[in-house]
Amino acid sequence: MEHIDYVYTVGMSEEDVERHLAAAETGVLSLADESRAYAVPVHCKYEDGVLLFRLTDDADSEKLTFLDATTEASFVLYEATNGDSWSVLVRGPVTPVDDPDQYDEAAINERFGPARIFDEDIGDTDVQLFELDIESVTGRQTPRFG
């Protein structure tokens, strides 16, 4: 395809990857159940090398069904503006937080903001914390010159 425009990207430094992870409030969590994929925007928090997610369950959560079936999840952060772009892709298993009592309701609200629910009854919604065990992380960006 000779008339397609291309832009080269370069690897991101470990410091830049950490900076983007630490600044992230949302990203896309991708899960799989055999040949079916499921990707959902989620709130996140990166603290001390751990990527946390706050998910809600109304006892009929498609994302939690996919989460149970997924052995390796992917999580992506990205931005593309005015020709500049960057992305961070994290992979690994997602498991419930070992000690959810370390995060009381005030701490959860502070870290994640209000939970986004759709047609669920709030009284039937359970908030759960999960962490992605980071097995690999890749950062790419358009090169910066000057």
Q: What is the pLDDT along the chain (146 residues), one digit of tens a residue?
A: 788 988 888 999 999 999 999 999 999 999 999 999 999 999 999 988 889 998 877 677 888 899 999 999 999 999 998 888 999 999 999 999 987 677 777 777 777 777 776 766 666 677 889 999 999 999 999 987 64
In the chain, the amino acid numbered 51 is: L
Give the count of domains, the chain.
1
What is the residue type of 84?
D
2 domain residue, yes or no: no
Provide the domain limits for residue 135.
10-141
Q: Domain holding 37: CATH number?
A: 2.30.110.10
Task: Judge whether 5 lies within some domain.
Answer: no
b/e map 77-107, b = 16+ CB within 10 Å: beeeeeeeebbbbbbbebeebeeeeebeeee
Residue 1 forms part of a structural domain:
no
Q: Look at residue 101 and tell me if it is in a domain.
A: yes
Structure tokens at 85: 């772009």
Instruction: Please indicate, yes or no, if residue 117 is contained in any of the structural domains.
Output: yes
3 found inside a domain: no
DSSP state, 122? Answer: G
